[in-house]
Structure 1
Amino acid sequence: MSHASHPDIVKRLKRAHGHLAGVIAMIEEGRPCLDLAQQLHAVEGALANAKRVLIQDHMEHCLGEGVDQSGRAAREALAEFKALAKYL
């Protein structure tokens, strides 16, 4: 199922992908460890932000609206939320 946030998430992941490729090149070039650590931190941040947007979108649209519109039992939505929470 595609969500309105997916294009933004794809952009974020592509940006992280490019950043990661840059880090690999930096390692191969023998760049200083401080520079590498800073860039890896940026990659981690980009991935964390993409994950946050994905999870928030899922909670809002799939769990929240799904319970209201499809009549799913609250118990099922809670179980799905618990499974999702381990990725927060």
Structure 2
Amino acid sequence: MLILTRKKGESIRIGDTIEIKIVAVDGDQIKLGISAPREIDIYRQEIYEAIQQENSQAATGQLPDDVLQAMKDMKKEKKDT
């Protein structure tokens, strides 16, 4: 892992197309501005992990319990009509 120190208004570059700029610093929070081509997906870590987990479940055929319950309910409703 590369660790850099930057001040407000300073930035770093990743390759020729990505720039990460320190927009604001407020206590223990830092606001980042990211300029990158549209074809590059940018996610917060927790969102990325949730997407990966859902993709993994979909690939193995495992559906979350709430989805399974909704499917069972739909099947029951269809039967009852």
Q: Is the TM-score greater than 0.5?
A: no
TM-score, length of structure 2 as denominator length: 0.31
Would you tell me which structure has more strand in proportion to its own residues?
A: 2
Which structure would you say has the larger Rg? 2
TM-score, length of structure 1 as denominator length: 0.29
Would you tell me which structure has more helix in proportion to its own residues?
A: 1
